[in-house]
A and B are shown apart, each in its own frame.
Chain A
Amino acid sequence: MSKGTPPGRWLLPSACALLVLALLLPPLPWPRTSFDYLAVFDITQSMGVTDYRLDGRPVSRLDFSRRALSAALTDLPCGSRVGLAAFSGYRSLTLLAPVEVCAHYGDLLATLDQIDDGMRWAEASQVAKGLFWALRAARDIGDSPQLLFFTDGHESPPLDDGTPALFGDIREGQVRGLVVGVGGDVPRPIPKRDASGRANGFWGADEVVQGADPARRSEHLSARRGTHLQALAARTGLDYLGLDDIAGLSAAMRAAPRSQRRELPTDLTWLPLGLALGLLCAAPLRSLLAPAWRRRRR
Chain B
Amino acid sequence: MTGGIDFLRPELLALLPLAALPLFARSTDARHYPHLGWLPADPAGRLIGLLLRLFAALAIAAVAIALAAPGRAQTVEPRTGRGAELLLLIDRSRSMDERMLPSDWRELSPYDIRHQTLSRGPVKSRAARELLADFVARRPDDRFAVSFFSASTLYVVPFTQHDEVVQAGIAAGGVHRGLSETDVGRALISSVARFEKRAYSGSRIILLVSDGGARLDEDTRLAIRAGFERQRVALYWIYLKGFGRPDLEAAGEASEAIPEVALHRFFQTLPTPYHAYQAQSPEDLAAAVADVGRQQNHPLDFEELIPRRDYSRHFVALALALVAVLVLARRWQLGGAT
Q: Which residues of A contact B (CB under 8 A)?
A: 1-2, 6-9, 12-13, 15-16, 19-20, 22-23, 83, 85-86, 91, 93-100, 103-104, 107, 110-111, 114-115, 118-122, 133, 136-137, 140-141, 269-270, 273-274, 276-277, 280-281, 283-288, 290-291
Contacts and interface: CB of A to CB of B under 8 A. Distances in A.
Interface string B151-184: 1111111101010110111011001100101000
B158 A111 contact: yes
Interface in B49-75: 56, 59-60, 63-64, 66-67
A86 B60 contact: no
B175 A137 contact: yes
Contact of A119 (B15, B29, B154): B154
A269 B56 contact: no
Contacts of B165: 96, 99, 104, 107, 111
A9 B313 CA distance: 26
A104 B164 contact: yes
Nearest to B168: A97
Q: Give chain B's interface residue range (CB within 8 Å of chain A).
A: 35 or more
Interface of B, secondary structure class, is helix
B257 interface: no
A218 B307 CA distance: 54
Given A16-B324, A110-B157, 15 more contacts: A12-B327, A16-B320, A16-B323, A19-B63, A22-B316, A95-B156, A95-B169, A96-B169, A99-B164, A111-B169, A114-B155, A115-B155, A270-B67, A276-B319, A277-B64
B157 A111 contact: yes
A96 B26 contact: no
B154 A121 contact: yes
Given A83-B168, A107-B160, A120-B152, A287 B323 contact: no
Contact of B67 (A9, A121, A277): A277
B176 A137 contact: yes
B31 A285 contact: no
8 contacts: A6-B28, A19-B316, A95-B148, A121-B152, A273-B67, A277-B60, A280-B56, A285-B25
